[in-house]
Structure 1
Amino acid sequence: MSNAINDGGDCTGHRPAVTEAEVEALVRGICFKTGPPRSLGVELEWLVHDQRLPQRPVTPERLRAAYATLRTVPLGSALTVEPGGQLELSSPPTASLMECIATVSADLDTVRAVLAGDGLALVGIGHDPWHPPRRFLHEPRYDALETCLDRGGPAGRHMMCASASVQVCVDAGHEEPGPLGHARRWWLAHQVGAVLVAAFANSPLMGGRPTGWMSTRQLMWTEIGAGRAGAPPLNGNPRAAWARHVLDSPVMCVRRDGGPWEVPDGLTFREWTRSRRPRTPTREDLQYHLTTLFPPVRPRGHLELRMIDAQPGDDGWIVPLAVTAALFDDPQAAETAYRSLKHLAERAVNLPAPHNPLWTDAARRGLADPELREAAAVCFAAALDALPRLGATTEVTDAVAQYMDRYVARGRCPADDLLDRPPGPDLSPAAGSPAAHGRKDFRP
């Protein structure tokens, strides 16, 4: 959900209408591109605060000036701005874990240096602990999104303007069954997703006070509703299930060349293809509709895992990236994770993520939940064993091992550090956490 995908057009011209059957065929072909896993990517969202006084809101004028400077700097990753002024760095598809880490680490060094010149800092936390949601971008897409989400309450504005995440992108997988098959990886993403929510929960505060949730960010996503931010049922073929979900999800907006975009209430894309009102939908409308759905796992040719809170420290994002890459791209680790998570599926109670008890418990309790703690221990151990096979350096494996000792083995997550000692003026993590040990060079 970045500024880069807002093309601003209508968006219809004289393009032909798309039919219901065409939508299903297009979604099946676009969203699951199968083959052996070869590529890895990461998308990092960051809050941007005043370097000296993070509790003081940063003015829009100050952000615009800093971002104008950033646009002149060459980066290997795509740099975009979120509705509340958060920054997002999206890596290009990379051929290995270490290539991904090296590319993004170098870009972050550059971005931090530019922001520091304006007295600003990137902050890795899943939900802003101090500031209420405030929109920075005023464009037709975000006007429409705000109007749409406001119908369900305030959670949408928090998601748009006050949240930040680590999103890991892995290939969809083989057509054939097995640990790296696309059907298995689709199932695994939704089960291990709850473990990732719990293990990396890092947003227990809002307005300077505890919310009662380890991942307030995940709570906000849950409250948005299943049509906009939910997954399809996991029973059956992933392509068919996702195509039905796309057709039966509500349309966020009908784009126009001039004036505000129309925001229909309850109109699904399936109904739009049948009624052809308020105008006929096109393939471009379908492509746009896909960008307005925010499930915890979004198929975009690859799988985009969207459930991990932004992490503390300059390099805290590397641990969830490394663990996720190992669990998906190493066959042995994938099989171990699959077997260890099968019993957790019973807690989903046939409700799609994130609106089932498993995901709710992960967001509320983190690794204080005994079953999630046990599953996390198995998954982290499998990832740690697999990382050398993926070419990870000693620095990366050490970081994962330290995280496992500090958090997983103790049934803790970064949110516990924030509750033990809320962030100070410099937003430094609690003493003893891996992020407090100083920066390491993770580049080869």
Structure 2
Amino acid sequence: MIMTIHEVSAPPRSDGSALTEASAEEWLRTTLFRPGPRRRAGVELEYVVHTRPGPPRHPHPDELRPARSEAEAQFSFNRFTVEPGGQVELSNTTPAPDIATAIERTAHDLAVLREALARHGLRAVGRGTDPLPSPPRVLIEPRYAAMERYLDRWGPAGRVMMRRTASVQVNVEAATHGRSDTAERWALLHAVGPALAAAFDTSGGERQRTWLALDPARCRPPHLRRGESPPSAYARWALDAPLMVVRRPGPDWSAPPAVSFRTWVRGGVPSLPQPTLDDLAYHLTTLFPPVRARGHLEVRYLDAQPARWWRVPAAVVPALLDDDRAAAATGAAGERVASLEDPWTRAATVGLADPVLCAAARGLLEAAAESLDRAGHRDLAALTADYLSCRPVDPTPQEAEPC
């Protein structure tokens, strides 16, 4: 069975039998990087929600609930979820044949959501981090309490991430049918990540700095050893990542400190039963690298965008991967970014004021616009060119449209 975009968000079927280390590694390698049709894609949008009119504040969950019910009843293509700080998320329920279709479907349901929010005195704010002070955590499930306790070890960044951040996430195939391009796609997405993060920064770098301040064992990219493939590296990294949450009866899902999933599967946690495949799948949901493998590749390093501009990062990522000419330009931009010392930190602290990141970002957006035009997505190509001309070097947060 071919694992398609979003299908891996559901837990795998399991008979409840315990895993072995070898079976865990094999399942990770063969499940998280599946081939699919070239150009198939998906989009996920997160937004902070504020009240309107008057001075903005965070709505109480009871204020958000009727707007959510109205919107969900009219959605055609997306599901609606709420994040720990009350942020809302739209995600495609099925993959689209191309990014233009994914964007069209998302735009339809986003309009429904915005109208429902407006009827109840609310608005969706397209910013990478919430400009208001941190709200209380609105999700009280054991998962989020355990996550918060774990992330508090890294200071306030964990609560900022959970309660105040929002993003545009783009989902692309990990590999395409008939081609052995997993390593190339994985490398390209990481190589240009700092430049794209800077190009679409709407939080003054705060969202990126927040992720960089958190547990590097689960929030930094997996390191590929010499000769190692992305599936093997990701499997190794996932098993070596510390446990954050362990599901069990009762309200406390805290994990034993400093215990990796590999230690657990080896039988090194006497207080816990041997893990199952379902436990491994759940562990994967607590890993937050810039690009997450889920059968497809989930690009997570892009800030939420104001107004219509979310379409641009959503279109740019697949345009750079699924067009051979654009992929060549992407590789060249990645080489420029690699010349920087710690480019992720540079993107979060200096952004497009760095000449190397700025030149790389400009080259990437130009290549993406040309790729979109060649694919017949002329509206998206024009919008990408508009974004490039409106915001060539501007690392400041954007509340209104750039132009």
Return the TM-score normalized by structure 1.
0.83
What is the alpha-carbon distance in structure 1 between the residues aligned to residue 102 and residue 82 of structure 2? 21
Q: Hey, what does 1:265 align to over in structure 2?
A: 257
Structure 1 unaligned regions, length at least 5:
204-213, 349-356, 419-426, 435-444
Tell whether the 8 Å contact from 1:147 to 1:263 is kept in structure 2 after alignment.
no
Does residue 1:298 correspond to 2:292, yes or no?
yes
CA drift at 1:346: 3.6
CA drift at 1:343: 3.5
CA drift at 1:139: 0.7
Q: Hey, what does 1:143 align to over in structure 2?
A: 145
CA drift at 1:66: 2.7
CA drift at 1:55: 2.8
Q: Select which of 226, 231, 240 maps to 2:221.
A: 231
CA drift at 1:306: 0.2
Q: Give the secondary-structure state (helix, strand or coil) at the position aligned to 1:121.
A: strand
Does residue 1:318 correspond to 2:325, yes or no?
no
What is the alpha-carbon distance in structure 1 between the residues aligned to residue 159 and residue 173 of structure 2? 31
Tell whether the 8 Å contact from 2:39 to 2:99 is kept in structure 1 after alignment.
no
Tell whether the 8 Å contact from 1:97 to 1:392 is kept in structure 2 after alignment.
no
What is the alpha-carbon distance in structure 2 between the residues aligned to residue 284 and residue 199 of structure 1? 38
Tell whether the 8 Å contact from 2:72 to 2:79 is kept in structure 1 after alignment.
no
Distance 1:114 1:199, change over 3 A: same
Kindly provide the amino acid, as one letter, of the partner of residue 132 in structure 2. Answer: W
Q: Hey, what does 1:364 align to over in structure 2?
A: 349
Q: Hey, what does 2:105 align to over in structure 1?
A: 103
Does residue 1:373 correspond to 2:363, yes or no?
no
Q: Hey, what does 2:273 align to over in structure 1?
A: 279
Q: Select which of 326, 332, 340 maps to 2:325.
A: 332
Q: Hey, what does 1:31 align to over in structure 2?
A: 32
Kindly provide the amino acid, as one letter, of the partner of residue 174 in structure 2. Answer: A
What is the alpha-carbon distance in structure 2 between the residues aligned to residue 81 and residue 156 of structure 1? 17
Q: Give the secondary-structure state (helix, strand or coil) at the position aligned to 1:48.
A: strand
What is the alpha-carbon distance in structure 1 between the residues aligned to residue 215 and residue 338 of structure 2? 21
Does residue 1:246 correspond to 2:238, yes or no?
yes
Q: Select which of 143, 154, 175 maps to 1:152.
A: 154
Q: Hey, what does 2:16 align to over in structure 1?
A: 15
CA drift at 1:35: 4.5
Q: Select which of 118, 130, 133 maps to 1:131.
A: 133
Kindly provide the amino acid, as one letter, of the partner of residue 222 in structure 2. Answer: P
Distance 1:116 1:55, change over 3 A: closer
Q: Percent of counterpart pairs with the same letter? A: 42
Does residue 1:308 correspond to 2:293, yes or no?
no
Does residue 1:345 correspond to 2:338, yes or no?
yes
* Alpha-carbon displacement from aligned partner over 1:197-231 (angstroms, at most 9, x marks no partner): 1101111xxxxxxxxxx220111111112112111
Kindly provide the amino acid, as one letter, of the partner of residue 167 in structure 2. Answer: S
Q: Give the secondary-structure state (helix, strand or coil) at the position aligned to 2:105.
A: helix
Does residue 1:412 correspond to 2:402, yes or no?
no
Q: Give the secondary-structure state (helix, strand or coil) at the position aligned to 2:350.
A: helix
Distance 1:390 1:53, change over 3 A: farther
Tell whether the 8 Å contact from 1:46 to 1:86 is kept in structure 2 after alignment.
yes
Q: Give the secondary-structure state (helix, strand or coil) at the position aligned to 1:89.
A: strand
Tell whether the 8 Å contact from 2:148 to 2:159 is kept in structure 1 after alignment.
yes
What is the alpha-carbon distance in structure 2 between the residues aligned to residue 54 and residue 428 of structure 1? 17
Kindly provide the amino acid, as one letter, of the partner of residue 102 in structure 2. Answer: C
Structure 2 unaligned regions, length at least 5:
1-5
Does residue 1:93 correspond to 2:75, yes or no?
no
Tell whether the 8 Å contact from 1:273 to 1:280 is kept in structure 2 after alignment.
yes
CA drift at 1:176: 7.5
Q: Hey, what does 2:3 align to over in structure 1?
A: none
Tell whether the 8 Å contact from 1:6 to 1:141 is kept in structure 2 after alignment.
no
* Alpha-carbon displacement from aligned partner over 1:64-117 (angstroms, at most 9, x marks no partner): 333233333333111111111111111231001221111011101111111111
What is the alpha-carbon distance in structure 2 between the residues aligned to residue 377 and residue 242 of structure 1? 30
Tell whether the 8 Å contact from 1:55 to 1:131 is kept in structure 2 after alignment.
no
Tell whether the 8 Å contact from 1:46 to 1:165 is kept in structure 2 after alignment.
yes
Distance 1:368 1:256, change over 3 A: same
Q: Give the secondary-structure state (helix, strand or coil) at the position aligned to 1:254.
A: coil
CA drift at 1:386: 0.8
Tell whether the 8 Å contact from 1:187 to 1:234 is kept in structure 2 after alignment.
no
Kindly provide the amino acid, as one letter, of the partner of residue 369 in structure 1. Answer: D
CA drift at 1:285: 0.3
Distance 1:185 1:347, change over 3 A: same
Tell whether the 8 Å contact from 2:47 to 2:127 is kept in structure 1 after alignment.
yes
Count residues in correspondence. Answer: 391
Q: Give the secondary-structure state (helix, strand or coil) at the position aligned to 2:343.
A: helix
Kindly provide the amino acid, as one letter, of the partner of residue 311 in structure 1. Answer: Q
Return the TM-score normalized by structure 2.
0.91
Kindly provide the amino acid, as one letter, of the partner of residue 83 in structure 1. Answer: P
* Alpha-carbon displacement from aligned partner over 1:129-160 (angstroms, at most 9, x marks no partner): 11214211111111111111112211111111
What is the alpha-carbon distance in structure 1 between the residues aligned to residue 177 and residue 278 of structure 2? 28
